[in-house]
């Protein structure tokens, strides 16, 4: 990291294994090992679900400002991806970043504090919902400019490769992002220079209101990899194990062979593009279809159906997660707002003479009361 | 001291920084095999190899952004963008990313990188290849922008830029590459954010940067020799931060100023300087601050048209004369001779 990063162990529950595993048969895998893993994944998916629902509520209460995009419907994808990387790997995402932050191991209270614009927020109240950043968990930013994170991720891969490291960069983006120039430039660079970057297209089938078919001449987005001789895969983004397995393969390949990879996960968006979007443009049948594939409900029913856990146990888990989210909100509520005197604290990392510190009504030069008299 | 060209000063400094710090690497189009469009990086691929001197595809947004990402992990990339015109393709990565990452994430991660790029019209390159758009970068908090006009400053400010932890846009100029000057042998970094008074005088203040700071000095020497007018020249050297105090202090001494700029007048850097002077030295001013700037057209190819549009030394002299006439000072001066 360019700045000194404090090191902190992530909780045991969030330590992902880079180990190879045999593929459980989708949701029908029943061995005890998979059952316990699935339960762990369910817990994290539920954390994302309840956190996002609470976030939407806080937004309507005007506790949160600006743009606010939720991972509702993408929980299996988020958790599956995060299970495939180790704590030494780096993550870049777009603005739809709350779930990644939580599963990656940022403190839920500090994430919520960032949404609230408070001084304990992960980005000290400077970034907000779209710009969660924490050097400790190596999540190097949510980015609000579509495609902006892609060249950065390639560059992080370059730094790793330059130093002969074995970390991997995971770069998340949306389906709509595959049409911006930075997508092409970054994938080409990563392939040309053998950079350890896994590009993940989270295909939730919508830009804002724009469908994949409306925007992409080749709607099977993973096929874009062919232009860069890059390996790729397309998986069911509602299946946490399928995502985990595909991402693990991609990450391992990047780590051991220093080759980039393009992974596409296909899921759906349960709400509007952002919390203020009523999504009236959507076909009710399509929305119903997405709802019927809700990954959290599906995994709940699977866990009960395969007797990994009974409904009561899962309800208790839900209550426990509810407590975590409640505590996060309380933490955010109690965190102080940033002090306006800190406004000029981080314009520059290296202090420089003559940097402007004037407030809107300040004069450029001290007013001279005798002048003009 | 060595008497070397601006180009040589840049070349030697890049080379010594590559030798000094393993984290420094060069990236850009045609900088290795082709040795640089303007040969600043001549011989470097052979000496340092393709890992440290990295030819990139024609992808300004991609490789500039990759440099930002690499800098976030602690490398110190020095990017060459062939000319500042092409930096427009990387505008998103420069303005929205390089400039924002330190502040927007609450000071957690700095971006220690340099973007070297030459500006400059007057080479008959027509409209898209003759612009000076450093204004966009000078406008942007989070970036530092330096624009040296002499070989010595080129060296000192390049050292400072590479060693600085913030993204620095390092503005060069096509017309300056072959100019020569004394350059100290020691590796003493200059100070970003400080202007320099490169000539003292009491009659009028001339303010410029990059090529126009050079023109200002030439004009000042000519006026002193021909007319006994003593102009003070302020070379901004740094466009962000902007050292307004040095400019204002000079105007308080001379009571009038002409601002030279190599780009369009409206909304330009000269406008910022004129406003700053009026804020800081209103009661000292004997005449309005005049700006000498490019005609507001896309720069044409045909030489007579191009020459008409670009500010020349004669244009500067004309405006200085008009300003001194307005305050009645030139007749004194001429009469006194
Ligand atoms: C360069 C740019 N253009 C437009 C926007 C406005 N915008 C924000 S999100 C979005 C849709 C992106 O869709 P996708 O990549 O599929 O991501 P999703 O929101 O589905 O996660 C648009 C157009 C932007 N932020 N950046
Ligand atoms: Mg989308």
- Separation of alpha carbons B89 and B83, rounded Å: 11
Q: What pLDDT sits at residue A370? A: 67
Cα–Cα dist B217/B313, whole Å:
10
Summarised one tens digit per residue, pLDDT across range A43-92 is: 999 999 999 999 999 999 999 999 999 999 999 999 999 999 999 999 99
**Closest Cβ opposite residue B59 in set A2, A152, A189:** A189
Q: Which residues of A touch B56 (CB under 8 A)?
A: 189
Interchain contact A97–B (C-beta under 8 A): no
Quick check: A126 contacting B, CB < 8 Å?
yes
Q: How far, in Å, CA of B125 to CA of B311, rounded?
A: 16
The pLDDT of residue B332: 59
- The pLDDT of residue A20 is 34
Confidence of residue A10 (pLDDT cuts 50, 70, 90): very low
Give the residue-averaged pLDDT of B115-132.
92
**How confident is the model at residue A258, as a pLDDT?**
97
User: Shortest CA distance to B259 belongs to which of B297, B220, B300, B290?
Assistant: B290
Asked whether the domain spanning B196-336 has the same topology as the one spanning B2-183, the reply is yes
pLDDT band, residue B121 (cuts 50/70/90): confident
Q: Is B95 exposed, middle or buried (0-12, 13-18, 19+ CB in 10 A)?
A: middle
Does the beta carbon of A214 lie inside 6 Å of ligand 1? no
A52 interface with B at CB cutoff 8 Å: no
Looking at the complex, does the CB of residue A157 fall below 8 Å from at least one CB of chain B? yes
Confidence (pLDDT) at A27:
46
- The model's confidence at residue B180, banded by pLDDT at 50, 70 and 90, is very high
Ligand 1 center–CA A190 separation, angstroms: 22
0.80 exceeded by pTM: yes
3-state secondary structure of B204: strand
Q: What span, in angstroms and rounded, lies between the C-alpha atoms of A246 and A61?
A: 39
Residues 6+ apart with CB under 8 A from A44: A75, A79, A82, A102, A103
Pocket test for ligand 1, best of A95, A206, A208, A281 (most atoms within 8 A of CB): A208
A274-327, pLDDT tens digit by residue?
Answer: 999 999 999 999 999 999 999 999 999 999 999 999 999 999 999 999 999 999
**Ligand nearest A274 Cα, by number?**
1
CA–centroid distance for A183 within its chain: 18
Task: Write down the CATH number for the domain with range B2-183.
Answer: 3.40.50.970
Rounded CA gap, A233 and A103, in Å?
A: 23
Q: Find out whether A38 and A80 touch, Cβ atoms under 8 Å.
A: no
Identify which of A123, A151, A372 has the shortest CB distance to residue B105.
Answer: A123
Interface contact B304, partner A, CB < 8 A: no
Does A349 contact B110 at a Cβ distance shorter than 8 Å? yes
Where do the domains of chain A lie, and which CATH numbers do they carry? 63-342 (3.40.50.970)
Distance of CA B301 to the CA centre of its chain: 24
CB B240 within 8 A of CB B145: yes
- How near does any CA of chain A get to the CA of B255, in Å? 15
* Distance, C-alpha B63 to centroid of its chain: 23
pLDDT in tens, A18-47: 333 333 444 444 566 789 999 999 999 999
Does residue A371 carry a pLDDT above 60?
no
- CA B216, CA B270: separation in Å to the nearest integer? 14
With a pLDDT cut of 70, the percent of chain A lying above it is 90
B224-250: average pLDDT: 98
Identity of the residue in B111, B164, B193 whose CB atom sits nearest the CB atom of A353? B193
Backbone angles phi, psi at A282, to 5 degrees: -85, 145
Are A159 and B75 in contact (CB < 8 Å)?
A: yes
Residue boundaries of the structural domains of chain B: 2-183, 196-336
Cα angle for residues A246, A247, A251 (degrees, 5° grid): 125
Question: What pairing do the DSSP bridges indicate for beta strands B2-5 and B180-183?
Answer: antiparallel
Confidence of residue B329 (pLDDT cuts 50, 70, 90): confident
Give contacts of A 187-226 with B, CB under 8 A: 188-189, 192
Residue among A84, A100, A82 nearest A251 (CA): A84
Q: What's chain A's average pLDDT?
A: 92
Measured in residues, chain A has a length of 373
The 8-class DSSP code of residue A191 comes to: H
Cβ B178 vs Cβ B212: under 8 Å = no
Tell me the percentage of chain A whose pLDDT exceeds 90. Answer: 89
Could you tell me which residues come within 8 angstroms of residue B68 by beta carbon, excluding any fewer than 6 positions away? A151, A152, A155, B93, B97, B98, B101, B111, B113, B167
A146 near B CB under 8 A: no
Torsion of CA A356, A361, A365, A371, to 10 degrees: 180
Average pLDDT value for residue range B266-293:
97
Question: What is the torsional sign of CA A86, A90, A94, A100?
Answer: positive
Q: Which CA distances in Å does A328 have to A60, A219, A321?
A: 17, 39, 11
**H or E element that contains A47:** helix A32-60
Q: What pLDDT is attached to residue B120?
A: 85
Q: What is the Cα–Cα distance from A184 to A157, expressed in whole angstroms?
A: 16
Average pLDDT over residues B283-300: 97
Retrieve residue A3's tokens: 């700045």
Q: Please list, in sequence order, all residues whose beta carbon lies within 8 angstroms of the beta carbon of residue B6, skipping any fewer than 6 positions away.
A: B150, B151, B154, B172, B176, B177, B178, B179, B180, B181
Bridge partners, B264 (sequence order)? B294
Residue of B249 and B130 predicted with greater confidence: B249
Q: What is the ipTM of this complex?
A: 0.96
Q: What average pLDDT does the structure give for chain B?
A: 96
> Do residues B137 and B64 touch, judged by C-beta distance below 8 A?
no
Which has the closest alpha carbon to A25: A246, A296, A242? A242
pLDDT above 90 for A152? yes
Strand partners, B251: none
Q: Give A 332-351 residues with CB within 8 A of chain B.
A: 345-350
A106 alpha carbon – ligand 2 mean position (Å): 24
Q: Do A2 and B96 touch (CB under 8 A)?
A: no
Cβ contacts of A34 within 8 Å, gap of 6 or more: A24, A241
Closest CA to A320 of A35, A50, A38: A50
* DSSP type of residue B281: H
**CATH assignment of B196-336?**
3.40.50.920
Rounded CA-CA distance A364/A309 in Å is 67
Catalytic position from the list B29, B60, B134, B306: B60
The residue among B132, B320, B302 whose CA lies nearest residue B216 is: B320
Residue B310: count of CB within 10 angstroms of its CB: 17
pLDDT greater than 90 at residue A9 = no
- pLDDT at res. B333: 57
Residue B104 in tokens? 């927007």
Percent of chain B whose predicted confidence (pLDDT) is above 90? 95
Which residue's CA is the closest to the ligand 1 atom numbered 22? A208
CB A345 within 8 A of CB A339: no
* Cα dist from B197 to A277, B194, B228, whole Å: 57, 10, 19
């Amino acid at each position: 990291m360019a700045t000194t990063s404090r090191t902190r162990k992530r909780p045991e529950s969030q330590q992902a294994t880079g180990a190879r595993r045999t593929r459980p048969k989708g949701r029908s895998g029943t061995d005890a090992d998979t059952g316990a893993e699935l339960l762990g994944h369910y817990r994290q998916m539920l954390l994302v679900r309840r956190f996002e629902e609470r976030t939407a509520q806080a937004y309507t209460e005007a506790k949160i400002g600006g743009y606010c995009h939720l991972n509702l419907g993408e929980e299996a994808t988020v958790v599956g991806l995060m299970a495939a990387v180790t704590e030494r790997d780096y993550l870049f995402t777009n603005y739809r970043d709350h779930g990644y932050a939580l599963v990656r191991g940022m403190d839920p209270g500090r994430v919520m504090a960032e949404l609230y614009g408070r001084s304990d927020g992960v980005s000290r109240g400077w970034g907000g919902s779209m710009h969660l950043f924490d050097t400790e968990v190596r999540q190097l930013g949510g980015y609000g400019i579509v495609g902006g994170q892609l060249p950065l991720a390639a560059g992080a891969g370059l730094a790793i490769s330059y130093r002969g490291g074995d970390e991997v960069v995971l770069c998340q983006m949306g389906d709509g992002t595959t049409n911006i120039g930075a997508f092409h430039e970054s994938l080409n660079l990563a392939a040309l220079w053998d950079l350890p970057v896994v590009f993940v297209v989270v295909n939730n089938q919508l830009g804002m209101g724009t469908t994949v078919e409306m925007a992409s001449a080749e709607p099977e987005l993973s096929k874009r990899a062919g232009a860069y001789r890059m390996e790729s895969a397309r998986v069911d983004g509602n299946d946490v194990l399928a995502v985990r397995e595909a991402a693990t393969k991609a990450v391992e390949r990047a780590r051991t062979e220093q080759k980039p990879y393009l992974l596409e996960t296909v899921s759906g968006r349960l709400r509007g593009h952002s919390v203020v979007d009523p999504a009236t443009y959507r076909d009710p049948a399509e929305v119903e279809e997405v709802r019927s594939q809700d990954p959290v409900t599906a995994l709940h029913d699977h866990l009960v159906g395969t007797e990994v856990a009974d409904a009561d146990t899962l309800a208790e888990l839900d209550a426990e997660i509810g407590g975590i989210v409640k505590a996060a909100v309380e933490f955010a509520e109690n965190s102080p707002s940033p002090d306006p005197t800190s406004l000029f604290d981080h314009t520059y990392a290296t202090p420089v003479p003559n940097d402007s510190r004037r407030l809107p009504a300040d004069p450029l030069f001290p007013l001279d009361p005798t002048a003009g008299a | 001291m060595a008497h070397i060209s601006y180009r040589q000063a840049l070349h030697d400094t890049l080379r010594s920084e590559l030798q000094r710090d393993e984290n420094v690497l060069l990236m850009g189009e045609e900088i290795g095999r082709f040795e640089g469009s303007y040969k600043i990086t001549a011989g470097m691929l052979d000496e340092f190899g393709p890992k440290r001197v990295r030819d990139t595809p024609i992808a300004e947004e991609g490789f500039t952004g990759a440099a930002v990402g690499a800098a976030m992990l602690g490398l110190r990339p020095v990017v060459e963008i062939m000319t500042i015109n092409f930096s427009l393709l990387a505008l998103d990565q420069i303005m929205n990313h390089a400039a924002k990452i330190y502040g927007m994430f609450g000071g957690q991660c700095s971006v220690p990188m340099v973007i070297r790029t030459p500006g400059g019209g007057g080479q008959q390159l027509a409209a898209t290849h003759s612009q000076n758009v450093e204004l966009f970068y000078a406008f942007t908090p989070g970036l530092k922008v330096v624009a040296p006009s002499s070989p010595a400053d080129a060296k000192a400010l390049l050292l400072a830029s590479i060693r600085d932890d913030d993204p620095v846009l390092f503005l060069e100029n096509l017309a300056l590459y072959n100019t020569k000057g004394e350059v100290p042998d020691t590796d003493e970094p200059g100070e970003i954010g400080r202007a320099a008074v490169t000539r003292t005088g009491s009659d009028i203040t001339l303010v410029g940067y990059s090529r126009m700071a050079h023109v200002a000095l030439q004009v000042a020497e000519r006026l002193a020799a021909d007319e006994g007018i003593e102009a003070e020249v302020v070379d901004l050297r740094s466009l962000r931060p902007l050292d307004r105090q040095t400019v204002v202090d000079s105007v308080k001494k001379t009571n009038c100023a002409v601002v030279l700029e190599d780009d369009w007048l409206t909304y330009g850097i000269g406008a910022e300087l004129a406003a700053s002077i009026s804020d800081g030295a209103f009661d000292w001013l004997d005449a309005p601050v005049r700006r000498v700037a490019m005609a507001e057209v896309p720069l044409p190819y045909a030489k007579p048209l191009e020459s008409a549009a670009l500010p020349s030394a004669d244009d500067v002299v004309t405006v200085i004369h008009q300003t001194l006439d307005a305050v009645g000072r030139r007749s004194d001066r001429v009469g006194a001779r």
